[in-house]
Amino acid sequence: MVSTSRGQRSVQAFVVAIVSIAIAEIGDRTQLLSLALAAHYRKPWPIIAGIFVATIANHAVAGVLGRWLGVLLTPRVLDMLVGASMVAMALWVLRADTLRGNPEVSNKSAFLATAGAFFVAEIGDKTQIATLALAAAYPNLVAVVAGTTAGMLIANVPAVFIGDALSGKLPIRAMNYVAAVVFGVLGVIFIARAVMM
């Protein structure tokens, strides 16, 4: 019975992570970076591999930190903090992201440039913070990091293939509102769970 409960919680962690990150990534600076890299290099597979490696590395660090915090805090405090962070994410998503500086990248290989740029761009990004919060909330670190990485790929792989052809035509603002609602609902669920303990 315990293993089934753990298995269900792992599936729940994976699903919540994949959906949260895929939606949060829409219009995010790393998605804009995907568009810029695709337009510059026109080599989708090395760019996708770079995104994958950078995301796993970045989110694994965030996940380990989140798990550490999750062990230190009581379940009620943890759910309140995760809920509050999800509500904060909802508000953060409403603020449009832009690429600062010149989106041009060096002439290094597409893979290395993407991996380095993505790892740095993800530091302190809302998807990294969401990964930290999810890892604190769910005990299966592998399920969380796998879900957040899959969510990043779901949002960024199409951007790589589209390049910059459609970047000005996507309804980013509307998609940000949807992301804000998803984060807001998740936040309310975690807060309600904390209050009911």
**In this predicted structure, what is the pLDDT of residue 174?**
67
Q: What would the pLDDT profile of 117-130 be if each residue is shown by its tens digit?
A: 888 888 878 888 88
Examine residue 64 and state whether it is found in any structural domain, yes or no.
Answer: yes
Pairwise CA distance, residues 105 & 173, whole Å: 27
The residue with tokens 């790929």 is 153
**In this predicted structure, what is the pLDDT of residue 1?**
43
Task: Quote the number of domains for the chain.
Answer: 1
Pairwise CA distance, residues 78 & 21, whole Å: 20
Examine residue 82 and state whether it is found in any structural domain, yes or no.
Answer: no
Examine residue 83 and state whether it is found in any structural domain, yes or no.
Answer: no
Range of 65's domain?
A: 2-73+101-166
Pairwise CA distance, residues 182 & 89, whole Å: 10
What is the model's pTM? Answer: 0.71
pLDDT at 63 over 90: yes
Examine residue 177 and state whether it is found in any structural domain, yes or no.
Answer: no
Examine residue 89 and state whether it is found in any structural domain, yes or no.
Answer: no
Q: What would the pLDDT profile of 32-46 be if each residue is shown by its tens digit?
A: 778 777 877 778 899
DSSP assignments along 162-192, one per residue? HTTSSTTTS-HHHHHHHHHHHHHHHHHHHHH
Integer CA distances (angstroms), 38 to 20, 50, 73, in order: 24, 12, 42
Least confident range of 38-47, 72-81, 145-154, 168-177: 168-177
